Amino acid sequence: MHQSLTTAQKLRNLGHTLLLIGSMALLLALISELLFGEGIWPWVFAGVFLAMSTLPDISPRWILRLYQARRIYPNTAPELTRLMEHIGRRAGVSPIPDLYWIPSSTSNAFSVGSGNNAAIALTDGLLRLLNTRELAGVLAHEVSHIVNHDMRLMNLADLISRLTHMLSMIGILLAIISLPLAVLGKAPVPLSGLLLLIVAPTLSALLQLGLSRVREFQADLSAVRITGDPEGLASALGKIEQRQTSLWQQILLPGYRDPQPSLLRTHPDTAERVRRLLALRDHTNPTAQPFLGRARNPRLPGTFRVVRAPRHRLFFRTWH
């Protein structure tokens, strides 16, 4: 793997992360000063960071219970758990994140928790779709989210975005209440401030989505550093993308699964992710060999099966 290329991508991702989270913080500071006067924004940020450092993390098991997830133990899926342990050791994670199986035919994986209390969930559809080499890339990607503390970073961004939205709504409400006084010229409402109150929630949400996409790029890069096999993850992404659309949709409606503009997506475009991954290929990479020789799908016991079609929950956005 070309060291200069990976370093350049890492620095670019870090720069984008700092720029996006800094822009969100600046918006919150401007809104705070507009409503409460100068000198208030340090106290706002002190409260945000205090809340983030003192509030306990939500238990992964509580979240996974919403998905009806089932723990995968070494005696039930030895190949899969050995693969997870191998990737965890390469990533320097201790303890190794627990694996969970979700009874859904969709192809998806996600990580929850952080540090000593983390877990990775894999859907039944994903396990049946990917071979060992591809699954190694997906597991390394999710482990990278844990190592990079992406869940905590995104929680911070979400908190800043929610505060910006709440303060903007309060400011707009106060502007509406003071409208009669503004008409009489006794309490003029600055047009620039009112415009900021209107656009700040949307701008903050867009910055948060952009941050999510940057962290996905960084997780891809970190996954390659763990496995040394960018083609494995690229192949997995291609399979997942293809599985999400039927054949007639791929032919007649190629953009059916991605109707939103790129600015409104939480994940980057798959083609761009694959392009960046394949740019990291190196023909002499010995670390990829453990995954190249085992191409079959990891097997789960017969008791791990989807007994009914998945159903989407409206409020928790989970499968049932």
The mean of the pLDDT values for the chain is: 80
38 noted as active-site residue: no
Q: What pLDDT was estimated at residue 60? A: 81
Listed in order, strand segments (DSSP E) in the chain are 70-72, 98-102, 109-114, 117-123
DSSP string computed for 128-171: HH--HHHHHHHHHHHHHHHHTTHHHHHHHHHHHHHHHHHHHHHH
pLDDT digits (tens, 9 = 90+) for 126-163: 998 999 999 999 999 999 999 998 888 888 899 899 99
Higher pLDDT, 268 or 115: 268
Identify the burial level of 111 via C-beta atoms within 10 angstroms of its C-beta, where 0-12 means exposed, 13-18 middle and 19 or more buried: buried
Binned at pLDDT 50, 70 and 90, residue 264 comes out as: low
Residue 93 amino acid letter: V
Instruction: Pick the catalytic residue from 134, 142, 231, 241.
Output: 142
How do residues 36-45 score in pLDDT, each as one tens digit? 887 787 887 7
Beta 98-102 vs 117-123: how paired, if at all?
Answer: parallel
pLDDT at 235 over 90: yes
Average pLDDT over residues 237-260: 62
Q: What is the pLDDT of residues 171-228, one digit of tens each?
A: 999 888 877 766 666 666 677 888 999 999 999 999 999 999 999 999 999 999 999 8
**For position 261, what pLDDT does the model report?**
56
Residue 54 has pLDDT above 90, yes or no: no
In the chain, what are the domain boundaries? 3-241+259-292
Phi-psi category of residue 228: left, alpha or beta, with phi > 0 → left and psi -120 to 50 → alpha: left
**Pair type for strands 98-102 and 109-114:** unpaired
